[in-house]
Amino acid sequence: MERFTRLGVLANAHPGGVWAVAAIPPAGGAGADTPEGAFLTGGLDGCVRLWRPPPPSSVMEDADADADASAKADAPPLYVATTAGGDAPPHPAGVLSIAVAAAAPVAVSSSLDGTVCRWRLAASAGAPAVADEADGDDDAGDGALSPPLTLLPPITRDALKSWAVALTPSGSVAAVAGQADAAEDGAIAEASGAITLYALGEGGDEDGSVAAAPTYVASPEASKGAMCLSLTPLDGGKKLAAAYSNGTVAVLDVAAEAVTTTLPSAAGPVRCLTAAPAGAVPGAGDEGLWAAADDGLLYLYDTAAGVVASVRRGHRGSVLGVAASPGGGVRCDCRRRPVGAGVGGAVGAGGGAQ
């Protein structure tokens, strides 16, 4: 186990707190392959922001010609933020989850009130920012650069809450966990553990023209009455893994629209899931799965065999998040810090992770 060196902190990234973060894939439809990387954040303020490396220092100096002398003396920012969606926040409540398609220039975000927004990422979304690029201007005029992040029509839901969201790599299916849409008979499909699938079409409905039709997936019997807290695609998007507040972890088949496997449960709520890189579990191919739980453990599942391949302990308290490098070799996880130890509204690079 190693501790990473913190490269810096983006203070006040969102007023009130940062609740969700998602990296833009370094290869594929969204973004360029840059060593600095780019990512999306969502916060209590209902906004989604794109963070990219700043322009070269010479461009920054030109752009900051009217800034005061003390600001010019400061070091260049680690990242430059772009906020899209107009004057009002696109989400009426705090953003709990963000997902970016691995092979399509689209993303989705969900908030506590049940709103699910769709976003289009320009080819420049993963590249360093440009000094004169419009910030969130979807109506760029002649000669203006296309905005790197554009808000598409949201997925219409008659929902009470959304805990988590996921996209298949192609962006063709969005999965939303939380209190479900109203069924045809007016009843809520399931209370808090429901998963709803939305067909968006190939490429993730880049222009927002597809009317996403919901399909409800029945929760496994072991998770009845529990909240679904995390979703992640497996096996190239053919499957989705779901984690629940009672420790249940299940796998559903996207095409069959049904849960196919219930994995051995953790001893506490499972807060976060991430697909393990190919080869992390011998013989499992692309079906390895990391799970972070409140019992202080990290579980590595072989979802093909339906068993726990290994268990790791690296934290004294709850493990709240886990992420794996797509190329393998690196896995990061984070724990709950003591009350008062955190900084509200800030995003840190590297700190507090193992």
Q: Which residues of 283-295 are buried (b: 16+ CB within 10 A; e: fewer)?
A: ebebbbbbbbbbb
Residues 6+ apart with CB under 8 A from 321: 271, 272, 292, 333, 334
Where is average pLDDT lowest: 180-189, 196-205, 343-352?
Answer: 343-352
Predicted confidence (pLDDT) at residue 102 exceeds the cutoff of 70: yes
Where is average pLDDT lowest: 75-89, 143-157, 160-174, 331-345?
Answer: 331-345
Where is average pLDDT lowest: 90-104, 141-155, 184-198, 211-225?
Answer: 184-198
Give the whole-angstrom CA distance, residue 169 versus residue 207. 17
Instruction: Please provide residue 186's backbone torsions phi and psi, each rounded to the nearest 5 degrees.
Output: 90, -5
Q: What's the whole-number mean pLDDT along residues 184-200?
A: 64
The answer to whether the pTM exceeds 0.85 is no
Bridge partners of residue 43, in order along the sequence: 18
Q: What is the pLDDT, as a whole number, of residue 333?
A: 53
Coil vs helix vs strand at 138: coil
Residues 6+ apart with CB under 8 A from 115: 90, 91, 92, 93, 154, 157, 162
Residues 6+ apart with CB under 8 A from 79: 10, 38, 51, 52, 53, 54
Quote the tokens at residue 242.
């779901």
Mean of pLDDT over the chain? 74
Highest-pLDDT range among 50-54, 128-132, 249-253 = 249-253
Quote the tokens at residue 234.
């497996």
Q: What is the pLDDT, as a whole number, of residue 109?
A: 94
Q: What's the whole-number mean pLDDT along residues 103-113?
A: 89
